[in-house]
Amino acid sequence: MSAALAIALSALAMTFIVGGRYLLSSGGFALATRLRHPGLYRGLEAQMRREIGWSLASAAIYGIPAGVVAWGWQAHGWTRIYTDVHAFPLWYLPVSLFVYLLLHDTWFYWTHRWMHQPRLFRIAHAVHHQSRPPTAWAAMSFHPWEAITGAIVIPALVFIVPIHVAVLGLVLAIMTLMGVGNHMGWEMFPRALVHGPVGRWLITATHHEQHHAAYRGNYGLYFRFWDKACGTDIGLGSFGGTAAAAGRGDRAAASRPDARPDG
């Protein structure tokens, strides 16, 4: 098999994996939403179809660089991904997990904040903010230009920071869980965590909902560190309980069509 064909097949396989992971995770959380909060997404059917369409396009953009890197790792030993758990001290496993999450969060914060510059918002990030209020299907609903900024960070990190393949899988699982969970319109974490000491530094749906409501602030992905350090943390949002939540679709229909990002 030629290298070009092998790369193409790897990229195609990763695209299907990313797309499948999105459909399973977002679909699972959407089902949980339907069971736990019936009517929460009422009136948002057209929005959800749009979110799924953009997200599947993003899956290809995420899958292509991941597929190229996966091929290079297997065929030529590219990257710092390792499979022998004893290649580094065992304490490095949790350290590498935290390092990846911290670096990913840093990249996300600054690119996300950059995307809120008025010109870039109109060109690209407005696609994601059409989800107002967001649903479980919105996690990967990006314009292709924005999807590229998200797709390159983990493939780039594996060339720089050593990571065990299982820890890399955990990073991707956390990325998916937080991405979907932070958009689904209700809080999956207990109130004691969200409003306690951990919640002062961890981003949850209650925090990210405020970003979609205000079109500004709360730019982080996992941690509130950069928002707090840069003065962009605008606090927690509120879902208002089941009865109020059932009217999210009505509120979406009445939301400002001319809303603008902070500039």
Whether omega before 134 lies within 30 degrees of 0, making that bond cis, reads no
Per the domain annotation, does 155 fall within a domain? yes
Domain contains 32: yes
Q: What is the mean pLDDT of residues 136-160?
A: 97
Q: How far apart are CA 187 and CA 31, in angstroms?
A: 15
Could you give the CA distance from residue 144 to residue 233 in angstroms, rounded to a whole number? Answer: 27
Please state, in angstroms and rounded to a whole number, the distance separating the CA atoms of residues 154 and 137: 22
Give mean pLDDT, residues 233-259.
55
Is 228 part of any domain? no
> Does residue 163 lie in a domain region?
yes
The count of residues in the chain is 263
Q: Is the pLDDT of residue 57 over 90?
A: yes
Counting residues of the chain whose pLDDT is more than 90, the rounded percentage is: 84
Angle, CA of 255, 149 and 107, to the nearest 5°: 95
Residue 206 clears pLDDT 80, i.e. is over it: yes
Domain limits at 61? Answer: 3-184
Radius of gyration of the chain (CA): 19
Cα dist. 160→90, 130, 171 in Å?
19, 35, 16
Which is nearest to 158 in space by CA: 65, 214, 79? 79
For the chain, how many structural domains are there in total? 1
Confidence (pLDDT) at 97: 98
Query: Would 143 be classed as within a structural domain?
Result: yes
Of 106-115, 184-193, 194-203, 240-249, least confident by mean pLDDT is 240-249
**AA letter at 74:** Q
Q: Whole-model pTM above 0.75? A: yes
DSSP secondary structure of 194-251:
HTSTTTTTB--HHHHHHHHHHSSS---SSBSHHHHHHT---------HHHHHTTHHHH
- Over residues 174-186, the mean pLDDT reads 94
pLDDT value of residue 248: 53
CB 87 within 8 A of CB 34: no
| Angle of CA points 15, 17, 23, to nearest 5° | 100
Structure tokens at 158: 């594996």
Give the whole-angstrom CA distance, residue 122 versus residue 131: 14
What does the block give as tokens for 243? 């009865």
Rounded CA-CA distance 17/22 in Å is: 8
| Position 146 in a domain | yes
201 domain residue, yes or no: no
Is 248 among the domain residues?
Answer: no
Q: Which residues pair with 1 in a beta bridge?
A: none
Q: Mean pLDDT over residues 217-226, rounded? A: 96
Q: How many Cβ atoms sit within 10 Å of the Cβ of residue 89?
A: 8
